[in-house]
Amino acid sequence: MRLEGASASHVGQARDNNQDRALYTGTLGAVADGMGGHVGGEKAAAMAIAEFNGVRGVLSEQRLIDVVQAANRRIYDAALQPLLRGMGTTIVVASFDPVEQVVTIVNVGDSRGYLLREGDFRQVTVDHSLVEDLIREGQITEEEARVHPQRNIVTRALGIMPEVEVDAFAVRVQAGDRLLLASDGLSNEVAPDGIASILVETTSSDDACRQLVDAALAGGGRDNVTVVVLDVVEDGAVVADASSAATLTPVGEHADNFLADIPRPSKRRLPLRSVLILLGVVVVLVGASAGTAWYARSGYFADELDGSVAIFRGRPGGVLWFKPTEEELTEIRVDELDGASRTRLEQRPVWSTLSDARDFVDNLDTSRLESTVVTATPGN
């Protein structure tokens, strides 16, 4: 098997420069969506793509993550120049391993990787964005996210911090599979059903790219739009025919449980030191830093701290360089909670006020503790 692909990019109807970049090398596709200043956004996206343009051969998941992190470091260092200060970029990369017949997708930010298989269209990647967090918290729907005024705010990007956490997804592919990488200029303008229809109805990856860009422009084209379409084809085959697929199934769900052989994203935790050197870094992301700051500090949640339940201010996992801060440490020991309470704690619901978070903590059930506490009696 091999990949056959194409890419397309358009400035859109509203922006005056294109800060998206795309790459297709024959075994690898990538999309980067730059942000932060007129020069910086383009520069950051181009740097991220350049990092992959030079690599050859089959890339392991770890190697892909290493290349993304190298790009991050390079962009971060370049962003120390005044003219480029605050620049950053998303990245999504899909790399094909013909021996294992696996496509590995890595991502940072809200550029997406999708898979179309036999008419079933799913988003493989999980966005690192404000609206994705709001969807996860049940505050807005996917439809509302596409028109949300802060839909451009990403919670992770290359170039913002010296280290970055990269998600990775391995998809065991079969001939006929069609992969799509896209910047948010597509997903914010075209509903998932519309994207899926184009992927099903077009034959060549070239046509698919062109029609996807056209659909984004017809939808408003308020942002740069960039797509890479990758077809998995048998050696010798002319092109995958995704149009022979069965009926299209509803989309919108992430691919978490789509295929048994798509593992959960690999989490690469940030070294603690990266959190410590962020003060003083001035970053302006699409003019939204105030909104990001507000959002990042707007909630309260409970989590474990040194074995006890603590209340934190901020968002679980943090938003960009805004890390949650400890608000209150309680005397409740996590290992004394019953199973249901521990599960509720692990879900880390976010409350809008401190008193709501306190109520939540007060209602965690420590009855198991109370029933097993034995009054100590002085021994001899």
What is the contact mask toward Mg ion in residues 138 to 177, using x (rule: CB under 5 A)?
----------------------------------------
Cβ proximity to Mg ion: between 120 and 223 the closer is 223
Kindly identify the residues of this chain, within the stretch 301-320, that bind Mg ion according to CB under 5 A: none
Among 51, 127, 165, 184, binds Mg ion (CB under 5 A): 184
Cβ proximity to Mg ion: between 183 and 205 the closer is 183
Placement of tokens 């969807």 in the chain: 135
Residue 370, exposed/middle/buried by CB under 10 A (0-12, 13-18, 19+)?
exposed
Amino acid code (one letter) for 28: L
Cβ proximity to Mg ion: between 5 and 185 the closer is 185
Strands, sheet with 325-333, edge to edge from the N-terminal-most edge strand: 300-305, 308-313, 325-333
Kindly identify the residues of this chain, within the stretch 64-93, that bind Mg ion according to CB under 5 A: none
**In this chain, which stretch among 32-40, 50-58, 138-146, 233-241 interacts with Mg ion, using CB under 5 A?**
32-40
What is the contact mask toward Mg ion in residues 341 to 370, using x (rule: CB under 5 A)?
------------------------------
Secondary structure of 284-302 in the HEC alphabet? Answer: CCCCCHHHHHHHHCCCEEE
| Buried residues in 322-346 as b, exposed as e (16+ CB within 10 A) | bbbeebbeeebebebbeeebbebbe
Measured CA to CA, the distance from residue 190 to residue 109 in angstroms comes to 19
Cβ proximity to Mg ion: between 42 and 223 the closer is 223
What is the contact mask toward Mg ion in residues 218 to 257, using x (rule: CB under 5 A)?
-----x----------------------------------
Cβ proximity to Mg ion: between 159 and 185 the closer is 185
**In this chain, which stretch among 28-36, 255-263, 279-287, 358-366 interacts with Mg ion, using CB under 5 A?**
28-36
DSSP assignment, residue 322?
A: B
Q: Is the dihedral of CA 339, 341, 346, 347 positive or negative?
A: positive
**In this chain, which stretch among 97-105, 138-146, 168-176, 182-190 interacts with Mg ion, using CB under 5 A?**
182-190
Among 4, 33, 42, 61, binds Mg ion (CB under 5 A): 33
What 3-state class would DSSP assign to 31? strand
Smallest distance from Mg ion to CB 322, Å: 22
Cβ proximity to Mg ion: between 8 and 262 the closer is 8
Secondary-structure breakdown of the chain: helix, strand, coil percentages, each rounded to the nearest 5: 30, 25, 45
What 3-state class would DSSP assign to 35? strand
Smallest distance from Mg ion to CB 5, Å: 21
| CA neighbor of 18 nearest in space, from 45, 51, 53 | 45
The count of chain residues that interact with Mg ion, using the rule CB under 5 A, is: 5
Residues that bind Mg ion in the complex, under the rule CB under 5 A: 33, 183-185, 223
